[in-house]
Homo-oligomer: A and B are copies of this chain.
Amino acid sequence: MQGDAARSFRDLCEEHGIAVTHQRQVLYEVMRAMSGHPSPEEIYAGVRQRIPTISLATVYKNIHLFVESGVLREVSLHHGTVRVEMTGHEHHHVVCSKCKSISDIDESELGLIPKQDRLPGGFLVERYAVDVIGLCANCQQS
């Protein structure tokens, strides 16, 4: 397992021509293990458990690098800080407008979205990001 993850990360770096450093490897593993949509601070806290001397600046620099490489995806969720998630299976987000909690929803649960590859005007579609906004079960009570 460890071996597999290490290998694929090594490959990933090779693909994108970036160096394999201890920090990056741990960052990657920590983010893999984190569910949800962690903020840079949360990732920083996680990595610090294994590399106490890591700098927040390094975390930011590598988050950007990973986003550019396509390892991470930047998620835009009516939030104050940056949130990221590992790129993986297609899903969308359910956001409570009151408590701001976020959960994932599978595309199949949402009902099929009629996707177009190209929009009038020549826009080339990469993906659709759907946020379902409303009230979660808890917040409906108040």
- Residue ranges of A at the interface with B (Cβ–Cβ < 8 Å): 74, 76-79, 94, 96-97, 105, 109-116, 119-137, 140
Contacts and interface: CB of A to CB of B under 8 A. Distances in A.
A134 B125 contact: yes
A135 B118 CA distance: 10
Given A76-B78, A112-B114, A122-B140, 8 more contacts: A94-B119, A109-B119, A110-B114, A111-B113, A125-B134, A126-B135, A127-B134, A130-B131
Nearest to A116: B111
B121 A132 contact: no
Contacts of A79: 76
A133 B124 contact: no
A4 to B, nearest CB: 30
Contacts of A137: 121-123
A47 B130 CA distance: 33
